[in-house]
Amino acid sequence: MEQKIDMIVNRLPAKTWNRLSVNQAEIKDLTADGWTKPAVTVRYPKAEKPVVKELTAEQQDSLYKKMEEIHTGMGAEVSRLKPEDATDICVETAGHSEETVPNDVQTVLVFDYSSQKNSYQDVKIHAKAGENVTVWTVVRSEKDAEGKAVLRTLMQAEENAKIRLVQVDLLGNRMELFNDIGAESGKQAQIEVVQLFLGAEKIWAGSYATLTGEKSHLQLDAGYYREKQQLLDMNYVAQHIGKKTESGMNVGGVLQDASKKVFRGTIDFPLGCAGAKGDEMEDVLILGEDAINQTVPLILCAEEDVEGNHGASIGRPADEVLFYLASRGLSEEDACNLLARAKLEALCNRIGEQEIAEQAENWLLEVTGDEA
């Protein structure tokens, strides 16, 4: 008999009223067995390449093994789905000496979840001191593919290193995506995350950045387009451990029809992170009559010398904007579609890889219509 498991993910770092149903997300009746891995294609947009290896747990060195301890936004439960014989894709900068130039490398990882019901993949990214790595991860499937797709990304940026992670979701509308991120930064390291959630019927997404090193920095920008009955459930945390660390989280998107989005965003200032700054902003355009938006933006503070700000703007387009667009000949529907597309195209422009950016823009055109 098929074994089923329930999972609790995206736990809010500080609970609030249970009646609001935002303290956590429960995923019930998950098939426990038979998970496999997606098909992966690796390409390199430029000549300078990182070291990319597919390694089993036994083949990984102590650094990669230690990366398993990094907190992730969805939580440790996600790894319960990992098949025993799984291989992780490990991306690493090669390192440099005093005589050589630091590496600045890029890779694209395309995961195709079409062929299997449920697939799981871990990606580990390690930027050595002073080096830069950009990784694009694209999750895709055939439009009518069904199943669950897990992508868990763990990142370690050493001193003065920079990791740029760009994630684009182009899954078919019958897929469910679990997209989890954990990151840890060394002194003056930078982590940049750009995410675009366009496909999949249901998405659970998490990100947890532990800013350990002094003056390390996180910038996370996420956008989404949800329609019909689609769901997006997010839990994003920036934890400031090191002094003078900085974080910025901007999340925005569009809710059409009867779609639902939950955003939990936390800036955590534990004692000792003097001089830290955290900013969080959410901008939600609600266009669907039956859409549901839940937003829980937390600031947890045990340190005096910090600055934390969060803001949220939720609702329909301003009347003045619609009036202006109407004066330019656009119907309200076309105007709303234009605004929805404009909101996400700004993120498409930040993808920074032509082929992926085109795929994302084409997807957007398809869902928002191109009449406007």
Partner 1 sequence: MKEKTYVDDVDRSIYDIRNEEKDVYRVQEGLDASIVEKISKEKNDPAWMTLFRLQSLQIYNELKVPDWGPSIDGLDMSHIATYVRPNTKMSAKWSEVPEDIKDTFEKLGIPQAERKSLAGVGAQYDSELVYHNVREEVAAQGVVYTDMESALKGEYADMVRKYFMKLVRPSDHKFAALHGAVWSGGSFVYVPPGVSVEIPLQSYFRLNAPGAGQFEHTLIIVDEGADLHFIEGCSAPKYNVANLHAGCVELFVKKNARLRYSTIENWSKNMYNLNTKRAMVEEGGVMEWVSGSFGSHVSYLYPMTILKGDHSRMEFTGITFAGKGQNLDTGAKVVHIGKDTSSFIGTRSISKDGGVSTFRSSVQVEKSAKNTKSAVSCQSLMLDDKSRSDTIPAMDIRTADADIGHEAKIGRISDEAVFYLMSRGLSEEDARAMIVSGFADNVSKELPLEYAVEMNNLIQLEMKGSIG
Residues near partner 1 (CB under 8 A): 14-18, 20, 22-23, 269, 271, 274, 284, 286-316, 318
Q: Which is nearer to partner 1, 33 or 305 (CB)?
A: 305
Minimum distance from CB of 297 to partner 1 (Å)?
Answer: 6
Minimum distance from CB of 285 to partner 1 (Å)?
Answer: 9
Minimum distance from CB of 248 to partner 1 (Å)?
Answer: 15
Minimum distance from CB of 307 to partner 1 (Å)?
Answer: 5
Q: Which is nearer to partner 1, 2 or 289 (CB)?
A: 289
Minimum distance from CB of 337 to partner 1 (Å)?
Answer: 14
Q: Which is nearer to partner 1, 137 or 235 (CB)?
A: 235
| Residue ranges with strand state E in the chain | 4-9, 25-31, 39-43, 51-55, 88-92, 104-112, 118-127, 132-140, 146-157, 162-170, 174-185, 190-197, 202-211, 217-226, 231-240, 246-255, 260-269, 276-286, 292-301, 306-315
Q: Which is nearer to partner 1, 2 or 304 (CB)?
A: 304
Q: Which of 13, 45, 144 is nearest to 355 (CA)?
A: 45
Q: Which is nearer to partner 1, 150 or 232 (CB)?
A: 232
Q: Which of 97, 110, 105 is nearest to 47 (CA)?
A: 105
Which phi and psi angles does 315 have, rounded to 5°? Answer: 150, -165
Q: Which is nearer to partner 1, 48 or 303 (CB)?
A: 303
Minimum distance from CB of 261 to partner 1 (Å)?
Answer: 10
Which phi and psi angles does 175 have, rounded to 5°? Answer: -85, 155
Q: Which residues contact 144 (CB under 8 A, 6 or more apart)?
A: 172, 174
Minimum distance from CB of 107 to partner 1 (Å)?
Answer: 38
Q: Which residues contact 280 (CB under 8 A, 6 or more apart)?
A: 238, 247, 248, 249, 250, 265, 267, 297, 299, 309, 310, 311
Q: Which is nearer to partner 1, 99 or 319 (CB)?
A: 319
Minimum distance from CB of 265 to partner 1 (Å)?
Answer: 11
CA angle, residues 99, 100, 102, in degrees to nearest 5: 135
DSSP for 99-157, written as a single string:
TSPPPEEEEEEEEE-SS-SEEEEEEEEEEPTT-EEEEEEEEE--TT-EEEEEEEEEEEE
Could you give the CA distance from residue 124 to residue 41 in angstroms, rounded to a whole number? 16
Q: Which is nearer to partner 1, 86 or 274 (CB)?
A: 274
